[in-house]
């Protein structure tokens, strides 16, 4: 909104009109040509997944690191007091698939090395899939300006048919370059930034996955909740740092907030 407002506001201040850049045919050429080129480049399942990830460009629904740490500390306190088998029912109720799978493997007595390899493999595959989805928008950002130039050339072809009327020629040239504006603007104001945002979301999600995996392994190893917090607090520094460990965590008893 800020980018579009700045550009359109500058147009109005220069004496232009919104109607000067409101061309349906130019939009059809740029949008249709760009989407078609991306469909040729990208397998359909990847394209559909990328389209479903579009809301993540504007809305972040990921669990904050501090919340993940508190959740793991609650499980650690319970496992330290009642044994790791006591987490079986909790593991089945977890909504987050990665944590649920890791905790179930831990409850089942999976060897730590095997558990780490399995979860790291899942993380690697998820990261590759996320990179492919971000690349869809980057490809669109590469094609859109070129398609915009194609639209401008098509407009100029129509202009050349009316060289006898100089006024129509001038108006036609102005309209022809609208497609170029659409192509360059869509690439630099949406497609490329969207790809970068999805990649940033992906990297943040992978850090949370690493936090969860290290936390589950620490639970299996039977570490004190205070030590687990110290081990995991580095993952939350980007959000202001983890809270100081509570005295009751050192004794293995969950804090009131964790119990709630």
pLDDT one-digit tens code per residue, 32-91? 999 999 999 999 999 999 999 999 888 887 778 888 888 899 988 888 888 888 888 888
The pLDDT assigned to 141 comes to 95
Nearest to 129 by CA among 208, 47, 190: 47
The pLDDT assigned to 62 comes to 76
Residue 5, in any domain of the structure: no
Find the largest Cα–Cα distance for the chain. Answer: 91
Residue 31, in any domain of the structure: yes
The pLDDT assigned to 91 comes to 82
Q: Retrieve residue 191's tokens.
A: 């497609």
Cα gap 15→253, rounded to integer Å: 69
Residue 119, in any domain of the structure: yes
Report the percentage of the chain scoring pLDDT > 90.
37
Residue 177 has pLDDT above 90, yes or no: no
Residue 181, in any domain of the structure: yes
Residue 242 has pLDDT above 60, yes or no: no
Whole-prediction pTM value?
Answer: 0.78
Q: Kindly give, in sequence order, each residue whose CB lies less than 8 Å from that of residue 200, ignoring residues fewer than 6 positions away.
A: none
Cα gap 196→136, rounded to integer Å: 11
Residue 228, in any domain of the structure: yes
- Total of domains in the chain: 1
Tens digits of residue pLDDT in 181-221:
999 999 999 999 999 999 999 999 999 999 999 999 999 88
Residue 12, in any domain of the structure: no
Residue 74, in any domain of the structure: yes
pLDDT band at 156 (very low <50, low <70, confident <90, very high): confident
**Which structural domain range is residue 99 located in?**
24-259
Residue 14, in any domain of the structure: no
The pLDDT assigned to 238 comes to 56
């Amino acid at each position: 909104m800020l980018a579009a407002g700045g550009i359109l506001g500058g147009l109005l201040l220069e004496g232009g009109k919104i109607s000067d850049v409101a061309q349906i045919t130019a939009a059809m050429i740029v949008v249709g040509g760009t989407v078609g080129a991306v469909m040729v480049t990208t397998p359909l399942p990847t394209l559909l997944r990328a389209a479903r990830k579009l809301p993540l460009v504007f809305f972040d629904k990921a669990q904050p690191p501090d919340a993940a740490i508190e959740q793991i500390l609650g499980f650690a306190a319970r496992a330290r007091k009642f044994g790791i088998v006591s987490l079986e029912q909790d593991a089945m109720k977890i909504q987050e698939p990665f944590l649920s799978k890791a905790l179930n493997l831990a409850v089942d007595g999976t060897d730590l090395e095997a558990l780490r390899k399995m979860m790291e493999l899942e993380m690697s595959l998820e990261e590759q899939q996320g990179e492919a989805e971000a690349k869809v928008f980057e490809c669109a950002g590469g094609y859109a300006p070129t398609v915009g130039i194609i639209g401008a050339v098509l407009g100029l072809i129509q202009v050349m048919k009316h060289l006898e009327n100089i006024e129509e020629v001038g108006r036609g040239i102005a309209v022809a370059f609208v497609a170029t504006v659409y192509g360059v603007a869509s690439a630099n104001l949406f497609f490329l930034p969207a790809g970068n945002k999805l990649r940033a979301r992906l990297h943040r999600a992978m850090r949370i996955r690493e936090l969860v995996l290290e936390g589950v392994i620490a639970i299996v190893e039977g570490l004190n909740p205070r030590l687990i917090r110290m081990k995991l607090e580095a993952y939350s520094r980007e959000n202001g740092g983890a809270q100081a460990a509570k005295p009751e965590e050192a004794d293995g008893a969950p804090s009131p907030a964790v119990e709630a």
